[in-house]
Amino acid sequence: MKTSNNNLIIDGIDKKILRALMEDARTPVLEIARQVGISGAAIHQRLRKLEKSKLIAGSKFVINPKVLGYTTMAFVGIYLDKAISNPQAVKQLQKIPEVLECHYTTGNWSILIKILCKDNSHLMHLLNSQIQSIEGVSRTETFISLDQQIERQIKI
């Protein structure tokens, strides 16, 4: 079965390669080649095609933030007084290292951010001294994550 999106065609072999690398990006190409039943050179060629198509956006090491003492994950809905404030607010949010994600949203909030803090005190300090002091922010609504139940990528 082939999956097609615009000019990109992903066949069963591509899917096997992608699944192996999504499971562990450090898997040696020759091990994947052995599992799939094609040469290492063919794996490299297919990976180049997938990178060129931008389907593969990169690979990275994942840091366990709890080891560094970051144990409080929160989602903060940010209300802005004017939509024109969005770009300036995002620029200020980018300067806060604890902000991991920032999304423009529909609904009541203008922006939704995901932040990681050492504890609730750290969270309160960030909210009071850095986030709520951004020009254009009228108020915030915070949800603390008790435990992440699902973390995954889109299925290939």
Half-sphere exposure of 100 (CA within 13 A, CB side): 12
CA 129/CA 122 separation, integer angstroms: 10
Tokens of residue 140, six digits: 């915030």
22-58 pLDDT, tens per residue?
999 999 999 999 999 999 999 999 999 999 999 999 8
CA 59/CA 39 separation, integer angstroms: 22
79 and 140 Cβ atoms separated by less than 8 Å? yes
52-103 pLDDT, tens per residue?
999 999 888 889 999 999 999 999 999 999 877 789 999 999 999 999 999 9
The predicted structure's pLDDT at residue 85: 78
82 and 137 Cβ atoms separated by less than 8 Å? no
The predicted structure's pLDDT at residue 4: 53
Residues 6+ positions from 93 with CB-CB distance below 8 Å = 99, 102, 111, 113, 131, 134
- Tell me the average pLDDT across 132-138: 95
The predicted structure's pLDDT at residue 1: 44
| Average pLDDT score over the chain | 93
Amino acid, single-letter form, for residue 30: L
